[in-house]
């Protein structure tokens, strides 16, 4: 800090004395005095930041650990960093790793950036970003860029890009225990907002009615526990413990509602749930549909993509197989007929089983834990080939079998019923003597979840490859 002390003694003291003298000459100029004082202190702050960053860079350079793992590539690289105090111009060192990374390349970076948590080519510090964002969302991109500090500004285009690239983390309330409520309300709405032109007015798309699409819609949802008077005797009500959600620019409807579901099941108690009905494919087993489709296409099976769809519903031949109305042998014969080739049983089975990916070990451990806490059932639209493979491949974990993970197993090809039809859910509830209001379905198909909810059950639809263990923490 020697340089800072020297700078303060040689520069700042003199400037502060001048500022004070100006006020003594004309006490009415107190506002000017405040501005001059702020400017002097900001300059001091910039110098302190500069020296601090350079001292940290030197400490890294002299570090034994650094010398073991990194070579100095280039010294004294001048960089600018915009802060709310002003722009800090400082020197830092560029390094190259002594060992290759996973990509087989030598990594090159500024170690100071790693220590400070700076992103590559970061121009603004977090305090400056916050100031820009606060102004931009209230007024405009231009004024946001102008508000960064007293002397610097960034373009409205840069502000726009910063905002659009920003990923806002999901906020889950930190509570020692999940809340217990009789009712939970979820209201949904939307809002319309104007879009700024990219470069010129003519670059906007034109809708079917000939008007420019200069607006967008964002989804708004709020979750609350009810209403209460704003004050004793007041006729106006307020919402109780409200949590607001707003859909992001690049967020799909499915992702948006999944985020709301995660909040609800994380923040609120599931004490009323005693029974879990868990799906197989997409929930436990990661599915690889495209790999299956390509395998059949390579065998010469035509129109296979029309047979296996991405809405979790198999059609025609595959549907009949999962419904159990045809045997495995008949299925194989029909595949041969579709291909026009004398395919072997092994070729057909291998192609069909290619749909099944892996089961993460943590999900198998979770199933064993849940079996101790809940009445757990497996309910799957599946077929004999897939199920036998799953039994032998996935549920042999630690010498166990499928029956060790669930209290009961319900398979569509054995029941001759398919989700989302109500009859299969009604059968499971009756066969296992379950109350719908005490039962939750975990299924990756929205149609299945809706069908279960119509019968009074709760449901949760995990995203692809989601670790849904957070529901039970």
Tell me the catalytic residues. Answer: 279
How buried is residue 424: exposed, middle or buried, by Cβ count under 10 Å (0-12/13-18/19+)? buried
Consecutive H or E run containing 6: helix 2-7
Strand extents, DSSP E, 240-391: 243-246, 275-278, 375-380
Q: Are 237 and 229 in contact (CB under 8 A)?
A: yes
Question: Within the chain, how many helices (H) and strands (E) appear?
Answer: 19, 13
The rounded distance, in Å, linking the Cα atoms of 418 and 325 is 12
Nearest alpha-carbon partner for 336 in 299, 286, 304, 372: 299
Q: Are 152 and 87 in contact (CB under 8 A)?
A: yes
The residues with which 278 forms a beta bridge, in sequence order, are 378, 442
Task: Write down the H helix ranges in 302-436.
Answer: 304-307, 316-323, 328-339, 345-353, 361-373, 384-393, 412-415, 422-431
- Cis check: omega of the bond before 420, within 30 degrees of 0: yes
243-246: strand order across its sheet: 185-194, 215-224, 243-246
The rounded distance, in Å, linking the Cα atoms of 108 and 71 is 9
Q: Are 81 and 125 in contact (CB under 8 A)?
A: yes
Instruction: Provide the b/e sequence for 191-227 (b: ≥16 CB within 10 Å).
Output: eeeeeeeeeeeeeeeeeeeeeeeeeeeebebbbbbee
């Amino acid at each position: 800090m020697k340089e800072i002390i020297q700078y303060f003694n040689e520069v700042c003291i003199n400037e502060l004395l001048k500022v004070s003298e100006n006020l003594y000459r004309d006490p009415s100029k107190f506002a000017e005095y405040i501005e001059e004082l702020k400017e002097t202190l900001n300059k001091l702050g910039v110098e302190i930041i500069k020296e601090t960053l350079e001292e940290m860079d030197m400490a890294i350079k002299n570090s034994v650990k650094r010398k073991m793992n990194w070579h100095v590539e280039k010294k004294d690289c001048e960089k600018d960093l915009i802060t709310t105090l002003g722009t800090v111009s400082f020197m830092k060192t560029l390094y190259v790793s002594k060992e290759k990374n996973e990509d087989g390349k030598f990594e090159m970076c500024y170690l100071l950036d790693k220590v400070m948590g700076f992103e590559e080519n970061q121009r603004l510090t977090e305090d400056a970003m916050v100031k820009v964002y606060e102004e931009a969302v209230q007024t405009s991109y231009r004024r946001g860029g102008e508000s960064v500090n007293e002397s610097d500004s960034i373009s409205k285009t840069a502000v726009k890009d910063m905002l659009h690239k920003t990923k806002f983390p999901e906020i889950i309330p930190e509570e020692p225990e999940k809340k217990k409520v009789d009712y939970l309300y979820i209201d949904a709405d939307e809002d319309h907002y104007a879009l700024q032109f990219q470069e010129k007015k003519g670059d906007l798309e034109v809708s079917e009615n000939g008007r420019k699409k200069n607006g967008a819609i964002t989804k708004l949802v709020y979750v609350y526990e009810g209403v209460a008077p704003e004050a004793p005797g007041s006729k106006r009500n307020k919402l109780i413990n409200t949590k607001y959600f707003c859909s992001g620019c690049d967020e799909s409807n499915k992702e948006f509602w999944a985020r709301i579901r995660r909040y609800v099941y994380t923040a609120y108690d599931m004490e009323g749930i005693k029974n879990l009905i868990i799906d197989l494919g997409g929930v436990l087993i990661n599915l690889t549909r495209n790999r299956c489709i390509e395998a059949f296409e390579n065998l010469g099976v035509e129109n296979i993509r029309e047979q296996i769809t991405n809405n979790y519903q198999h059609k025609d031949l595959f549907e009949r197989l999962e419904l159990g109305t045809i045997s495995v042998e008949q299925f194989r014969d029909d595949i041969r007929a579709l291909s026009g080739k004398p395919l072997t049983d092994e070729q057909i089975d291998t192609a069909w089983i290619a749909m099944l990916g892996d089961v993460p070990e943590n999900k198998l451990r979770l199933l064993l834990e849940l079996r101790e806490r809940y009445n757990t059932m497996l309910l799957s639209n599946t077929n004999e080939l897939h199920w036998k493979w799953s039994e032998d491949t996935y549920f042999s974990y630690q010498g166990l079998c499928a029956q060790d993970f669930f209290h009961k197993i319900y398979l569509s090809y054995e029941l001759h019923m398919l989700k989302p039809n109500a009859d299969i859910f009604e059968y499971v509830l009756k066969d296992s003597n379950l109350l719908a209001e005490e039962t939750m379905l975990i299924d990756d198909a929205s149609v299945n979840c809706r069908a279960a909810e119509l019968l009074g059950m709760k449901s949760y639809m995990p995203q692809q490859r989601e670790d849904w263990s957070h529901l039970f923490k």
